Amino acid sequence: MNKRQHGLSRRSFFSLAAAGGIGAALSSLMTRKGFAQDPQEKGKPSTNIRDAMAWERTADSMPGKYPGKVVQVNHANCILNNEPDQDAVSEMLRRGMVELTGADSLAAAWLQFVSPADRIGLKVNPVAGKSLTTSHQLVRAVISQLQEAGIPKDHILIWDRREFELHETGFTEENYPGIRITGTEQQDANGSFYGPDGLLYGEKMIDKDWYYWADVVEEYDDYTLPYMVNSGKYSYFSKICTQQVDKIINIPILKNAGASVTLCLKNLAYGCISNTGRLHKDLWGETCAQVCAFPPIRDKVVLNIADGIRGCFNGGPGANPQFIAEFKTLLLGTDPVAVDRIGYEVVLRKRIAEGIQTEDKPKARDFMNMAQELGLGVADLERIDVAVLNLT
């Protein structure tokens, strides 16, 4: 979906809003309890979250077809010789998809979320490098099963923020023939971030019609700017999600971030916008939740497959070998908040077992609660329906 399907571009939307044309219609949305609360009301920097909530939800909007449902597929032998085993991972995904959807065939399960006409983006997470990237075995299994369901290969795209990180971790067109691999931030063959016209390649990849505004500024030096694309108070959405894909399958890797996790919401939020460096300190949780409330993400992400074959329980989101664990699990769901909540439990149990912490830190779950308030999914553990499959 893109902005045209909403019948309104962002610019025309704000022109109308400024003229008072739809202000009245929005006010009822904004006054619902717990709805789109500006962080400023909690003493934090202000953001434009209310803009996001003004957009009508669609049938595909988060939390998707199965709110509050998570399938956890464990496989004791999914790692062989220190590598994920392709057959085992494919079977985990197959069983998980059928369990999640209740479909009578694997193809039918996938076709609940995508169709052959869709351009499908697989949002992976390679940022921690080779040792802690979304596993290739899982991505290959997704591609293979999509093809079995009739999705043309050239409708599938693998993407993340930094194209060069994808390449460094093996997401290359050589390893994935016929699949487009792309990122928002790009370098050319000479390692330059700038094209012959003097513009950042990343500048051409951002869509200035869609942005997350936050009252936080970080001025980047010349060296840092190519990694952020722009400075100032605006973080623009990547054209990859606003223009180049119709559906997104989110494939994060199970990692901690302090006592919290970086999983579905973080992978989407920080992976889809520019100028993220400024958002870490004061608005980490808000960014994770609020960016996902904007239509380019909220209405396009149809499925989340959290890769917990390997993950980390401390030192994340970077890869520190001493904290990498073989969780040997996949978490599937259309509801990214519920998947994050269950993933959080997996990491928390490991952290407690390893003596990193002694108990749950509720504040570490704030971003999930924020996402729940925004209507993106279910964060309350008792309201999440978890189906656990144990394979051997």
Partner 1 sequence: MCLIRLNSINSMKMKRVVLLIFLGWTTLWVSGQEDVFPLSTDTIRGWEVAGTRMYDGSGLWGYINGGADIYLEYGFERVYVQEVLLNDHLLKIDAFDMKDGVAAFGIFSVSRFRCLLNDSLRMHHCISPYQILSVLGDHFLIISDQEGTDAATQCGITLLMEISEKMQPASFLAPEPFSVNNAEGQLKCIRGKLGLMNGFPSLSDLLESYENYTLYALPVAGDQPDQVLAKIEFADRENQADLIHKLAELQDNAPEKVVYIKATGPEGILFLIVNKEEMTSTCPYRKLFSDQ
Binding residues for partner 1, rule: CB under 8 A, are 82, 127-128, 130-131, 218, 220-221, 223-224, 226-228, 257-260, 262, 270, 276-277, 280-281, 314-318, 320-323, 354-358, 361, 363-364
Element (H, E) at 227: helix 225-228
Q: How far is the CB of 359 from partner 1 (least distance, A)?
A: 8
> Is residue 390 left, alpha or beta, with left meaning phi > 0 and alpha meaning psi from -120 to 50?
beta
Q: Which one, 117 or 189, has the nearer CB to partner 1?
A: 189
CB 186 within 8 A of CB 163: yes
Q: Which is nearer to partner 1, 57 or 280 (CB)?
A: 280
**Number of neighbours of residue 189 by Cβ within 10 angstroms:** 5
Please, what is the minimum distance in Å from the beta carbon of residue 353 to partner 1? 11
CA distance readout (Å), 142 to 114, 117, 180: 12, 17, 15
Query: Please, what is the minimum distance in Å from the beta carbon of residue 52 to partner 1?
Result: 22
Report the C-alpha gap between 315 and 303 in whole angstroms: 27
How many CB atoms are located within 10 Å of the residue 312 CB? 28
Minimal distance, residue 126 CB to partner 1, in Å: 10
Quick one: which of 271, 264, 292 has its CA closest to 376?
A: 292
Q: Please give the structure tokens belonging to residue 343.
A: 């993933």
Q: Name the residue nearer to partner 1 (CB basis): 259 or 302.
A: 259
| Least CB distance to partner 1 at residue 266 (A) | 8
| 3-state DSSP assignment of residue 28 | helix
Nearer to partner 1, 276 or 290 (CB): 276
Round to whole Å and give the CA distance between 264 and 280.
17
Give the residue with the Cβ less far from partner 1, 114 or 261. Answer: 261
Nearer to partner 1 (CB atom), residue 44 or residue 65: 44
36: left (phi over 0), alpha (psi -120 to 50) or beta: left
Q: Look at residues 295, 379, 290 and name the one whose alpha carbon lies nearest to residue 40.
A: 290
Write phi, then psi, for 370 (nearest 5 degrees): -60, -45
Give min distance, CB of 277 to partner 1, in A. Answer: 5
Of 61 and 260, CB closest to partner 1: 260
Nearest-approach distance from CB 24 to partner 1, in angstroms: 40
